[in-house]
A and B are shown apart, each in its own frame.
Chain A
Amino acid sequence: MKFGKVNDPGIIDFTLPEDNPDTARVLSQYRSAKPLEVYIGCAQWNRNYLKGFYPPGIKDELTYYASRLNAIELNATYYKVPDIRQIETWRAKTPAHFRFFPKIPEQISHRQRLTGVQDLVNSFCDIISHFEEQLGMVFLQLNENFSPQEWVPLRTTLEAFPAQIPLAVEVRNEKWFADPQIADHYYTLLERLGMTNILVDTAGRRDLLHMRLTAPVAFVRFVSTNHPSDFERLNDWVNRIRQWKAQGLQQLFLFIHQDLEADLPFLVTYFTEQINTAMHLQLPVPGKPVVRQPTLFD
């Protein structure tokens, strides 16, 4: 993912910001003894993207991918809405615990900019519902130039979004975050509708780390920089997730993106091991390639 890329990640302060005060209030409504549901994945499963992940001789990439990770950010649906047969094929290749996180098509989000899209949204949701229990959460990502001026189409679309399809939303225009009043207006809408407020952890746009949960779900899109600080950043996330779990967090969806995808499996493996240890979970660790420790870079 090129979004938020910087030339020198070494000069970026990657410290996670303090929580928005409303995050604790939201989470407190969901406190329970249930174990945290954690889904970790990448943004694609194809061999060219996940270099070094697939052993030689692997014939079906998705089948192998789903044997090592439990989620995929399904960006393919942004470009082309799959048909039902395609969804059934994907389901057949993956175990029941595997979850798909489809992205809303660009025709809805970027071309029509949420104007006059109700039929398209309904049609997409009808198709996506064929993932059945393997549907993790649909996510809507808006263009970087989609500003708070387009509040009405955003609100209209979200309020009419089919309630049975869980939705996470990512706005990128900096005006959503620069004015606390506008930000609060947006967060309040998501909270009222029970929708998830996506967190993007990327070097060049630290303002996207709003740390304001609007549901008991943390949906984190982590963009690696191929820098040793990646591991420390993931450690910070483990600590924050542990804190949120104590406050009431129920689900974590974390997807790791990277410019040099060769290192991607290392980070997924590393994060999975860390969250297992910290949260006493037993998530399957992707295994090979061997985990690299931060000290190797020091």
Chain B
Amino acid sequence: MNKRITALLLLALFTTLSGIFSCKNDKCGPFPNRYKLVSMNGKSYQVTDTTTGNVQLAEIDSDTLNFDQYAIYLRFGIATYYAGTGFNWLPAAYACSPVEPTTDETIDGIRITSDKDFDPAHPAGSDLSDLFDVIPAYYHLSIYPSDRYDLQQFIATQPKAPDELTLLLKARPDHPDIFSFQVAYHQDGVEHHSFEYTTSPVGLR
């Protein structure tokens, strides 16, 4: 009887300690670090204010925008899971010490194309990523949308997969027209490796 109780206590102790020491990086759940990108949604916005350093976005309220008023906002859907908090005598599913949800996924590339010729160097279907800046947001890393980077230079740094990206057009089309853009996002992901989003047609000058 005593041996059985001792064995049960040792088993419980082992289970508890393994829960404490094996979860520094959360590998106990269905995927690492409790966080992965699973989708991408987008919307076109009108840039209303860039004077303060914080780009303000609003619903598009006119048929035609100046090129520097146009922004493509991308929001990434994540999958995460509840990893349990605090001490559990018998650990629940995925019971690890709480870790900050994060991800090791990285952006491989972003290709932006338009349905019409943008300028002589950028015919329809060619990559326009050199014509865009980007404001990334990594909320889980306390990086709120603020700093603006050249999109290609940003991608060259092999950045981590973001929570949001705001793409800002920085060049005028050769002549005013109505454009629709397709954004193809590629990442070194846990499960998903690419997402696509096509904007609604918008008049640009």
Contacts and interface: CB of A to CB of B under 8 A. Distances in A.
Interface of A: 110-113, 115-116, 147-153, 175, 179, 181-182, 184-185
Contacts of B140: 149-152
Nearest to A143: B85
Interface residues of B, number: 17
Contacts of A185: 144-145
A151 B81 contact: no
Contact of B100 (A116, A149, A175, A181): A149
22 contacts: A110-B85, A111-B82, A115-B80, A115-B81, A115-B101, A116-B81, A147-B142, A148-B139, A148-B142, A148-B144, A149-B140, A150-B101, A150-B139, A150-B140, A151-B144, A152-B78, A152-B139, A152-B140, A153-B80, A181-B54, A181-B144, A182-B144
Nearest to B85: A111
Given A148-B144, A179-B144, 16 more contacts: A111-B82, A112-B82, A113-B85, A115-B81, A115-B82, A148-B139, A148-B142, A149-B139, A149-B140, A149-B141, A149-B142, A150-B140, A151-B163, A175-B142, A181-B54, A182-B144
A238 to B, nearest CB: 35
Nearest to A153: B80
B200 interface: no
A184 B55 CA distance: 13
A152 B163 contact: yes
Contacts of B78: 152
Q: Is the interface of B mostly helix, strand, loop or mixed?
A: loop
Interface of B: 34, 54, 78, 80-82, 85, 100-101, 139-142, 144-146, 163
Contacts of B54: 181, 184
A113 B168 CA distance: 33
Contacts, number: 43
Contacts of B82: 111-112, 115-116
Contacts of A175: 142
A149 B80 CA distance: 14
Minimum-distance CB pairs A-B, first 10: A151-B139, A112-B82, A116-B82, A115-B82, A149-B142, A149-B140, A115-B80, A152-B139, A182-B144, A181-B144
A148 B139 CA distance: 7
A115 B85 CA distance: 12
A182 to B, nearest CB: 6
B142 to A, nearest CB: 5
A153 B140 CA distance: 10
A12 B34 CA distance: 42
